[in-house]
A and B are shown apart, each in its own frame.
Chain A
């Protein structure tokens, strides 16, 4: 086999293998294909062939090293320990802020209940302050929704780690495809895309902007 014939053959072999593997290729598969093609090359190697051989050998070595480096990251530990711990910690934050907010609200409700026993001026001032506390307690809902977004991001990373583990032969189910087929999107799927949650301050629309938008419809 000559160097000029190698590229189409390599592409064809990789495409066939990828089809057989259901769309994804493990690094071991690529190494095996490269090595099998190299084995078929005859002894009459030109300078170009030798250069190609060296490139392929370098590629095979690079893949082996990458495989070793990724394995040393212990993706199995990330999957089984670190990600679940992070998720638990975040859920604990939601629980703690909810408990604290309820405590604050209870105290404010008691205070508000006492305004009837105060002079009208003082009662009004206390009510105003209590209202500000109620408004400030909005944070708990926003915090909870932001943390939910982070938990979903962690779940996405978990899926990717699953994929890595599958490629490197760990005892994990094959990675799942997360790309939705937009052409066959159901109404429910379209609605899910609207669940963006709280936006970061720079990206969020203000109440004034939303009012303007609502007015534009009228």
Chain B
């Protein structure tokens, strides 16, 4: 099945520059329908208000972290199947284990490149 290149994607990061970088890289990959949030709680509100096809979230944010957002998403009957990619500088094994236990779809460690982002997206939504 062809990937819907117009699917809404929510990117979550407390660094505005990082949001801008991810948005630009997604645009280069052909995804133009991108929305932003600067922490987990803001993201959760947006996810409950609008239908998204994918979440790409940082881990280390306040007041709600990425792992807390992931747990909220997985606990929500309407959102539980949402593809969720963590993009974070948290590269310890214990972090990856905790994210996997919480139900993360894929995990990208910062600093990352466009090729890695494309590979992880493809593994979740298929070739585009």
Contact = CB atoms under 8 A, between A and B. Distances in A.
A199 interface: yes
Interface in B56-90: 59-60, 65, 67-68, 89-90
Contacts of B128: none
Interface residues of B, number: 36
Given A102-B20, A145-B60, A213-B97, A191 B67 contact: yes
Nearest to B105: A214
Interface in B86-109: 89-98, 100, 106-109
Contacts of B20: 102, 105
A46 to B, nearest CB: 60
Contact of B89 (A108, A145, A213, A214): A145
Interface residues of A, number: 34
B110 A198 contact: yes
B114 A142 contact: no
Interface in A170-218: 191, 194-199, 204-207, 210, 213-214, 217
Contact of B24 (A134, A197, A204): A134
A112 B23 CA distance: 13
A204 B100 CA distance: 18
Given A191-B67, A210-B107, A198 B93 contact: no
A87 interface: no
B65 A105 contact: no
Interface of B: 13, 15-18, 20-21, 24-25, 28, 59-60, 65, 67-68, 89-98, 100, 106-114, 116
Interface of A: 98, 101-102, 105, 108-109, 112, 127, 131, 134-135, 137-142, 144-145, 191, 194-199, 204-207, 210, 213-214, 217
